[in-house]
Copies of this chain bind each other. A is one copy, B any other.
Amino acid sequence: MRSVPKYLVTVLLFALACFLASASDPSPLQDFCVAINNPTSADSRKYRKRLGSNVTLVNVDKLPGLNTLGISLARIDFAPYGLNPPHTHPRGTEILVVAEGTLYVGFVTSNTDNKLFTKVLNKGDVFVFPIGLIHFQFNVGKTNAVAFAGLSSQNPGVITIANAVFGSNPPINPDVLTKAFQVDKNVINYLEQQFK
């Protein structure tokens, strides 16, 4: 009997990684089903740290038992005046509770009116950031702040706007950004410098 080509198994493992991450947020079909791991990036963490915030996301990669269960949890630590910059979760709504400190939070609605909703949250206050909308959290106090957030997906994803637009790899064509932001190329280059 001939042995099995290695590449086949590689294909299978890749496909499984896909599946185990991508199946069925809506409802599990077993009590639970352990998943396997995806890589995640270090750059966006560094950037956030520079801004004085640190997100520890417990998603299906950290807690394989979450697989198929449609939820994840994040702890967000803020230095004084630390910022969790404008970002979206492409696959989840976020519900946040302040455990320590005072946060100024907000989100912007879609193009129906691009309305900004903001609130100052003290310890124990709760706020919701609807799926896919741009939102931020800012520690407006002199002390550290801590918040916990539930997200409505086992792998909600995070898109930090500044990173994704001005720090993508490779960079977005400058003609596109110049037109989109309606400023001259120097401003776009300057912005891109910050995310090299």
- Chain A residues proximal to chain B, CB less than 8 Å: 1-6, 8-9, 11-13, 15-16, 18-34, 36, 38-41, 43-44, 50-51, 58, 60, 63, 65-73, 75, 83, 85-86, 88-95, 97, 99, 104, 106, 108-116, 118, 124, 126, 128, 130-134, 136, 138, 148-155, 157-173, 175-177, 179-183, 187, 190-191, 194-195
Contact = CB atoms under 8 A, between A and B. Distances in A.
A31 B153 CA distance: 13
Which 10 A-B residue pairs are closest in the complex by CB-CB distance? A150-B150, A90-B132, A3-B3, A85-B180, A44-B111, A182-B194, A18-B33, A71-B152, A69-B93, A110-B157
Contact of A111 (B109, B128, B163): B163
A137 to B, nearest CB: 9
Contacts of A26: 24-27
A44 B168 contact: no
A173 to B, nearest CB: 7
B90 A150 contact: no
Nearest to A180: B85
Given A4-B9, A67-B18, A23 B29 contact: yes
